Amino acid sequence: MNCDYPASPSAQNPLCWISPIMVKGQRVICVNDAFADFIRAIYTELPVEGGTYTIREVFLGREKVVNAGDTATVGLLLVELHNPTDPFHAAHQELGFSSERFAPPAEPPPDAVEEEVASPANTPDRAHFN
């Protein structure tokens, strides 16, 4: 599947809109840094669109900070950003970010990778192996 991130509902391939799997240690790029004033007031560090970050933790969190209801979302804590504890969380978990604000870095098309591997510049000089 060839997806250009950030994907959107209007993407030609509807499978591109499915959120990618996010794991601890993975590098991600912020694709949405539009935060409400309320969020800006309670967070000390926010991601910047286009910035690259490393996932520190993946957790199941509530969809909204206040009046969360019964919906959940995948949340992320990032190595590069640290925030205060969530004032509305009983266990005092650190404030995190919705995974929907991030996408994995775009991967080069498979043809480009094959060409790079096969190019003469990437062929070892046998004289160095004697």
Instruction: Give residue-wise pLDDT tens across range 7-65.
Output: 444 444 444 444 568 999 999 999 999 999 989 999 999 999 999 999 999 998 876 66
Mean pLDDT of the chain: 76
pLDDT value for 120: 53
Whether 12 is in a domain gets the answer no
Domain count, the chain: 1
Whether 71 is in a domain gets the answer yes
Whether 11 is in a domain gets the answer no
Average pLDDT value for residue range 77-99? 90
Lowest mean pLDDT among 56-60, 66-70, 116-120, 122-126: 122-126
Question: Phi-psi bin for 50: left (phi > 0), alpha (psi -120 to 50), beta?
Answer: left
Whether 129 is in a domain gets the answer no
CATH code (residue 93): 2.30.30
Domain encompassing residue 64: 20-124
Contact assessment for residue 69 and residue 94, using Cβ atoms and an 8 Å cutoff: no
Average pLDDT value for residue range 104-121? 63
Does the pLDDT value for residue 67 go beyond 60? Answer: no
